[in-house]
A and B are shown apart, each in its own frame.
Chain A
Amino acid sequence: MSRPVSNRRRTFLNQGAALAAAAAASSLGLPRVAGAQVPTIKLGVLHPVTGALSYSGQLCRLGAKIAIDEINAAGGIKALSGAQFEPIYADTPNPQAGTSEIEKLNEQGAAAVIGAYASAICLATTQAAAKHNLPHLVDVGVADQIVERGLKNVFRFGPGYRKITEDAVKFLQTMNISAGNPAKTVMIIHEESLFGTGTANLLAQELPKLNFDVKEVIKHANPTRDFANIVLRIKTVNPDIVIPANYYNEYALLVRTMRQQAVRPMAIFSVLGGAASSFKFVGEFPDIANGILDVNHWYNPKSKDALALRGKVDAMKDQFFTYEVFLNYETVYLLADAIERAKSAKREAIVDALGASTWDRHFMPYGPTRFVNGQNTGAQPMMMQVRNKDISVVLPSAYAESAPVFPWKG
């Protein structure tokens, strides 16, 4: 039976007033009526969770969420009376969305933001955050311009693509020398955007210095619906090593087409390969993936913490332990450490604490953090090889689980 209209209206007004009072109390930091006050720290978590990059964006968000939940469950930030992270998840499928989300986060009083996966989006979000001196931790965004514009609020935990490419070239040379220099020619296949083109240009510049003959550099569109032509070209040029620099879908299509057309170079060696350091790819195409080498973000395989996190993610339905997950996870912990040391959630204090960070309780092969112009100088990539449905670190030797198998005779 329904109550009379006037009575319903009164109930609504009463409930509304109570809600408004509760909202005002929480925004002013006053204690709530029920339960003791737990201070919160608003943390913006920006990723492209819709649109073309949504697969990676969702994995990024997963990594950040796991870390936030863990930190909150373990009692929050001790130096701030157990303050809990209050994540504000935002979708940034493109740079424009990134800029407007930063403005919103600023108005909502975020203490810091992490994100935003893609280089082009990070360029926009870091710049927008700089206007408000909002600390911005870059989770992936490998373009070096992100940390080269003198923005004091920007910190990148992982390596940029110049460092990754330089190390990749060294790894390739080391591997080639130990095999007796069988490889002399390479061919680079890259996607057309900033990431692929930038990586390809750096590689084409560096490889000749180490006596590799770059036979051809081929750019392709996103999406490329058919790789048969490119593979035909690879067949004609017949390079010793094929280097793809592209995103997951195109990477997978390319190597599948290579298998179909029976093109088998000494190695498929990728830099930030879209699929070769992906357990999803390895699981779906174990035969094709076998033997592929990739230089990418990776965790210290000897770290128990890393393996524990991997176990946790593997146990989740349809989730994979990818660099998006663990880089975001660690970036949240890096921020938590800075806030602990700053003993404050004020933006200036966090920026100062990050600038002086020497955090070493992570599972990346970076050593203690040391930021110069916002870049963690110890950050480095590793070289992995797919072997029997698993991904094994093969270089640098300090972290290697096994030696690279090269040339690959699969």
Chain B
Amino acid sequence: MPDFSILFAALLNGLTQGAVYALIALGLTLIYGVLHIINFAHGAALMLALYAVYFLYTRLGIDPYLALPLITAGMFALGYLLQRFIIGRASHGRDENILLVTLGLAIVMENLALFVFRSDTRTIETPYAFATVEIAGALIGIPKLAALAGAIVVTAGLYILMVRTDLGRAIRALAKERQGARLVGIDVEHVLAMSFGIGLACVGAAASFLMPSYYVNPTVGSGFVLIAFTVVVLGGMGSFVGALAGGFIVGIAESLGGLYGMALGLGENLGQLAIFVLFIAVLLIRPQGLFGARA
């Protein structure tokens, strides 16, 4: 049984790692949870955003956190254009087509990245990469604390956007009744594209917070996309608070599962198992997810 200081440190690690998962899942919960677009290109979009952070830092010397507005704006534009001119047009509004189009986009994006950037793993070394803060004896990296703060701020921002703005109301209207929304004069294609854009902008923010402590290569997204889907379903589809809480829960389950896995001699990868055991347990008890509305 690990002692309290180790347990506390693992808990903090899980919380901060969960914040990164939440950041990635926030965009997905908007696209997948609200609009029911199964976006298989989410991981590939994260990869592109990570490359953008990498090149802004290495070529122009722009710090990942300062690059955040640029990256989110760029990803928003990419998302808007993709939905408006590729996904929307190619899928003809059918869910199974959307699935195939986004899967196709993911394959194209990953292979383009492989062609252009090659398969090298790239990392950046910021002056604060190894800086830590001591919290009750546990050393927590500054980039991880920044991700935690970022996840909370982005969640709050999205919540306000959805509740207080016309765009948010239009997105919610679309999620509930697409034809009805069209009848009352909502520009459905524009709102869909805006939602997709906002979803990818969240991925951009996630990339800015992730890059200082991680790496990028053309297949990096695949390591996060399944986790992000899990977080979305666990938290409740379409719920931002759910995505944040789901991210934290998944992060902590992974961390504690790994810790106990090691203590029991079963390996750190027990943490991965813990995520999905918890996931199944939650869905058995609460099929709509922790914060999801009952269908």
Contact = CB atoms under 8 A, between A and B. Distances in A.
B27 interface: no
Contact of A233 (B20, B121, B262): B262
Contacts of B217: 55, 249
A219 interface: yes
Contacts of B267: 192, 218-220
B269 interface: yes
A249 B272 contact: no
A357 interface: no
A258 B139 CA distance: 11
B262 A216 contact: yes
Interface in B264-281: 265, 267-269, 271-272
B13 A260 contact: no
A226 interface: yes
A218 B268 contact: yes
A88 interface: no
Interface string B92-125: 0000000000000000000100100011110101
B17 interface: yes
Contact of A55 (B120, B129, B272): B120
Q: Which of A228, A252, A253, A260 has the largest number of chain B CB atoms within 10 A?
A: A228
Nearest to A55: B119
A229 B8 CA distance: 11
Given A221-B272, A229-B262, A55 B114 contact: no
B215 A236 contact: no
Interface string A198-235: 00000000000000000011111101111011101100
B6 interface: yes
Nearest to B219: A52
B258 A252 contact: no
B224 A229 contact: no
A51 B222 CA distance: 11
B85 interface: no
Nearest to B273: A221
Given A224-B268, A226-B254, 19 more contacts: A50-B114, A50-B119, A54-B114, A55-B118, A55-B119, A55-B217, A221-B268, A226-B255, A228-B13, A229-B255, A233-B268, A236-B6, A253-B214, A253-B215, A256-B129, A260-B129, A260-B139, A261-B132, A284-B125
Contacts of A52: 219
A8 interface: no
A262 B2 CA distance: 20
A57 B219 CA distance: 14
Q: Which of A217, A232, A253, A318 has the largest number of chain B CB atoms within 10 A?
A: A232
9 contacts: A49-B119, A54-B114, A220-B269, A225-B17, A225-B214, A230-B258, A230-B262, A249-B121, A261-B132
A307 B219 CA distance: 33
Contact of B268 (A223, A230, A256): A230
Contacts of A221: 268-269, 271-272
A220 B129 CA distance: 23
Contact of A229 (B10, B111, B118): B10
A232 B17 contact: no
A262 B139 CA distance: 9
Interface string B218-233: 1100011000000000
B47 interface: no
A170 interface: no
A55 B114 CA distance: 10
Interface residues of A, number: 38
A229 to B, nearest CB: 5
Nearest to B142: A260
Interface of A: 49-52, 54-55, 57-58, 192, 216-221, 223-226, 228-230, 232-233, 236, 248-249, 252-253, 256, 259-262, 280, 284-285, 318
A52 B219 CA distance: 7
Contacts of B111: 50
Q: Which of A54, A218, A225, A318 has the largest number of chain B CB atoms within 10 A?
A: A225
Contact of B121 (A51, A57, A217, A252): A252
Contacts of B271: 221, 229
B215 A233 contact: no
B287 interface: no
Contacts of B6: 232, 236
B141 interface: yes
Interface in B234-286: 254-255, 258-259, 262, 265, 267-269, 271-272
Contacts of B130: 256, 259-260
B80 to A, nearest CB: 29
A233 B264 CA distance: 12
B173 interface: no
A397 B233 CA distance: 58
B9 interface: yes
Contacts of A192: 267, 269
Nearest to A280: B120
Contact of A260 (B2, B9, B141, B265): B141
A260 B214 CA distance: 13
Interface in B205-219: 214-215, 217-219
A318 B268 contact: no
A276 to B, nearest CB: 15
B130 to A, nearest CB: 5
B118 A226 contact: no
Interface in B1-53: 2, 6, 9-10, 13, 17, 20
